[in-house]
Amino acid sequence: MHGVGRKFAHVVIPSPVKDPLIYSVPSALEARLATGMRVLVPLGKRKVTGVVVGFSAQTSLEKVREILDVLDDRPILDSSLLKLCDWITKYYASSLGEVLSTVLPPLLRLNSQRVVVCRKGFFKLGGRLEREIYAEVEKRGRILLKTLSRLFSGRALYRALNRLVSIGAVEIEEKLKKNRQGRTEQGLAVDPEMSLNKPSMLTLTPEQEAALQSMEKRLEEGGFGTYLLFGVTGSGKTEVYMRAMERVWKRQRRSLILVPEISLTPQLLDRLWERFPNQVGVLHSALTPAERWTQWWRIIRGEVMVVVGARSAVFSPVPNLGLIVVDEEHDPSYKQEEGLRYHARDLAVVRGKILGCPVLLGSATPSVESFHNARQGRYTLLELTERVEKRSMPKVETVDLRLGAREQKNTADHQSSMASFFSPRLREALQENRARGQQSLIFLNRRGFASFLQCCLCGFVLRCPNCSISLTLHLKVRGLFCHHCGFRNLVGDLCPGCSQRTLTGIGFGTEKIEEELLRLFPGARVGRMDRDTTSKRGSQERLIRQWERGEIEILVGTQMITKGHDVAGVTLVGIILADLSLNLPDFRAAERTYQLLSQVAGRAGRGKEPGRVIIQTYLPDHYSFQFAVDHDYEGFFASEVEFRRALNYPPFSRLVHLRFEGINLQEVEQKAKIAGLKLKRRQEDGEGAARIEVLGPAPAPIEKLRSRYRWHILLKGKKSSPLLELAKELQVLFSRGSVRLHIDVDPYHML
């Protein structure tokens, strides 16, 4: 598409609320420029980086500025990714600028503190400019980008530099980042002959075989189709993913696999590396922007056949993509909760559809939405009903914590046993397991030592000054923390209300449980895994490795411990208080509870020895627990889906959540009410499928967060497009002013 059709380029600047801007294309650049490349453009007095999303022959604008430079040799976004971006702007009521700033690694900006670092090795350098730049960088070892741009001013520095980055000759580091890790794999020479991977020695089970068989045509020939691999924990889902990846690679097609959190799945990475040596690209949140670009370029150049990453890896620019896998597809971490609020699993399916490639979703506890889609025939259901080698599922039992049901005879006994949080049954089981030299997991989805501090004299509760939340006591670091905004206060002895020494810790978290375990089992090797013990780089992986090697006997943790570890020595799982996730004001509370319980229970008995799971609860009759005891996902689904149908919640309806935020409570409330009235007036117009329910406005359950007050409205309807239209109308009204409107399509957290 050369010539007149390319006179003007549509350029998106990756920043919130920006639509494409028009620039003219100087004839010198015309031949090199294509859709999906980055360009340097003037914006006001600044020079900024943008991405070309299209061309036109004419413009109605009178004054158009020129593109200054082309920064890439080849498009960094291919047409299918651009289509996906476009789809996202419409579905999530967002702008292309915002979408691109989420999709692309942070862009190289002009005047920043970045350092160009020379890398050793032999590189095929391009033209004279590249050689000169490389010589300069090599001479000094490292040089500020600013200095370099002064030395080469007036020449096409950025384009040449990008090429040097892309061939690995130099790296661009951010000056402030010191601790650089997580660069496993980088710097490995890539041998084009290395496409031979290590074949698996395992003989597939008949169920694994059948699952692959169903996908055969799509893996071989391509074409869109969504498969839901519903396989109990330990049934060999990962093996199925890897075989499917091998299949598509035989046809020179690449795979993308999404996992909930990379740092929690070192075992999966090990397995991928072993199976596809030197062929795995990893994208994770600990990468610096420069490392992210390095990975991005490796992926674009097709140097890896498998890309693995968390949520945002759904955007990775894999050429010739033949398969997208979403492991643990039910996991809430696929939903981004800030900025562009997208769902990576849903986008994986959309991307597969745009590209025409199969999408494989896997889980032992599928989301209600996905299982419903499978039942409706939109997804193909593949089942693995047994653990590999016929290992038995763990035996699950509940312990009723209610007073009347307990083994104790009087309240004094009850209190003393409750003070320990371990029912006699769980205590005995732990004792036995230790005696047999086996490992135990203790799960509690709340960290800290006490949930809050209260004065037992005047009732004063220590709260966060920024949020409508009480502060959690953490003993080891002697601090009171807000789990929402990170506010920290030292623990004083006196009640701020009445100045007495009367503050008492109420409630409990993992830190308290750890202390109790050490008291109950002196000398036991107890470990704890939650956000407090894993905040240092590498500490989490260290804990997981110790656990794998059996150096920890009892591991206490939050939901971090529920995911993917496959440790053969674990035969007991205890759940301290299973009701925590059930009592949240959220229509997915039961689903979330069932998933958490099944996942954590699935950690038990993965070796030769059978596993045992003990669930402590005040609500033993709740269907979430009853079906968890029987490992009956389909039973759970049947009950849950009835509840959803009765209350018209997803998958029987679509939701759009509107949150109004501002620093002045009266203003927020007033604006939310005005919006509510507008919506209700519009709602009366709708009929049938276009009917919309408007719930609220009301204060959000967490009314104040990070010093901002929050009100919300929930829109509910059969289809999402009428909901979106309404939301977009409001968006225009709220684009200026002190109260901001956040639109969340298919919301997860409405707190």
Name the residues that contact ligand ADP, by CB under 6 A: 202-205, 208, 231, 233-239, 388-389, 566
Contacting range for Zn ion; rule: CB under 5 A; set: 3-11, 190-198, 312-320, 482-490? 482-490
Which residue's C-beta sits nearest to Zn ion? 482
State which of residues 13, 107, 257, 464 lies at the interface with Zn ion (CB under 5 A). 464
Write down the least CB distance from residue 670 to Zn ion, Å. 24
Which residues neighbour 716 within 8 Å (Cβ) at sequence distance 6 or greater? 648, 649, 653, 654, 655, 692, 693, 695, 723
Write down the least CB distance from residue 237 to ligand ADP, Å. 3
Contact 693, 722 (CB under 8 A): no
713 binds, among Zn ion, ligand ADP, none (CB under 5 to 8 A by kind): none
Is the bond preceding residue 697 a cis peptide, omega within 30 degrees? yes
Instruction: Retrieve residue 159's tokens.
Output: 């384009």
Whose CA is closest to 169, among 200, 137, 199, 195? 137
d(CA 246, CA 269): 16
State which of residues 12, 71, 318, 482 lies at the interface with Zn ion (CB under 5 A). 482
Q: Is there binding between residue 466 and Zn ion (CB under 5 A)?
A: yes
485 binds, among ligand ADP, Zn ion, none (CB under 5 to 8 A by kind): Zn ion
Write down the least CB distance from residue 233 to ligand ADP, Å. 5
d(CA 734, CA 109): 30
* Strand 46-56, strand 8-12: pairing: antiparallel
CA 613 to each of CA 394, 560, 633: distance values in angstroms, whole numbers, following the listed order: 7, 18, 17
Nearer Cβ to Zn ion (464/576): 464
Nearer Cβ to Zn ion (419/702): 702
235 binds, among ligand ADP, Zn ion, none (CB under 5 to 8 A by kind): ligand ADP
State which of residues 156, 204, 457, 485 lies at the interface with Zn ion (CB under 5 A). 485
User: DSSP letter string over 233-255?
Assistant: TTS-HHHHHHHHHHHHHHTT-EE
* Number of neighbouring beta carbons within 10 Å of residue 342: 25
Contacting range for Zn ion; rule: CB under 5 A; set: 35-43, 322-330, 484-492, 551-559? 484-492
Nearer Cβ to Zn ion (292/484): 484
Instruction: Retrieve residue 214's tokens.
Output: 């169903």
Write down the least CB distance from residue 384 to ligand ADP, Å. 7
- Compute the chain's Rg from CA coordinates: 28
168 binds, among ligand ADP, Zn ion, none (CB under 5 to 8 A by kind): none
Write down the least CB distance from residue 703 to Zn ion, Å. 12
Write down the least CB distance from residue 63 to Zn ion, Å. 48
Write down the least CB distance from residue 569 to ligand ADP, Å. 13
Whose CA is closest to 98, among 12, 221, 162, 22? 12
Write down the least CB distance from residue 704 to Zn ion, Å. 8
State which of residues 399, 467, 573, 577 lies at the interface with Zn ion (CB under 5 A). 467
410 binds, among ligand ADP, Zn ion, none (CB under 5 to 8 A by kind): none
Nearer Cβ to Zn ion (475/485): 485
Question: Which amino acid, one-letter code, is at 339?
Answer: G
Contact 274, 342 (CB under 8 A): no
466 binds, among Zn ion, ligand ADP, none (CB under 5 to 8 A by kind): Zn ion
User: DSSP letter string over 94-135?
Assistant: --HHHHHHHHSPPPPPSSS-EEEEE--S-----SHHHHHHHH
d(CA 649, CA 708): 29
Q: Is there binding between residue 487 and Zn ion (CB under 5 A)?
A: yes
Contacting range for Zn ion; rule: CB under 5 A; set: 91-99, 167-175, 481-489, 574-582? 481-489
624 binds, among Zn ion, ligand ADP, none (CB under 5 to 8 A by kind): none
Nearer Cβ to ligand ADP (238/593): 238
E-strand stretches of 491-569: 503-506, 526-529, 554-557
Cite the DSSP H helix spans in 459-538.
510-520
Question: Which amino acid, one-letter code, is at 191?
Answer: D
Write down the least CB distance from residue 203 to ligand ADP, Å. 6
Contact 368, 634 (CB under 8 A): no
Catalog residues that contact Zn ion under the rule CB under 5 A: 464, 466-467, 482, 484-485, 487
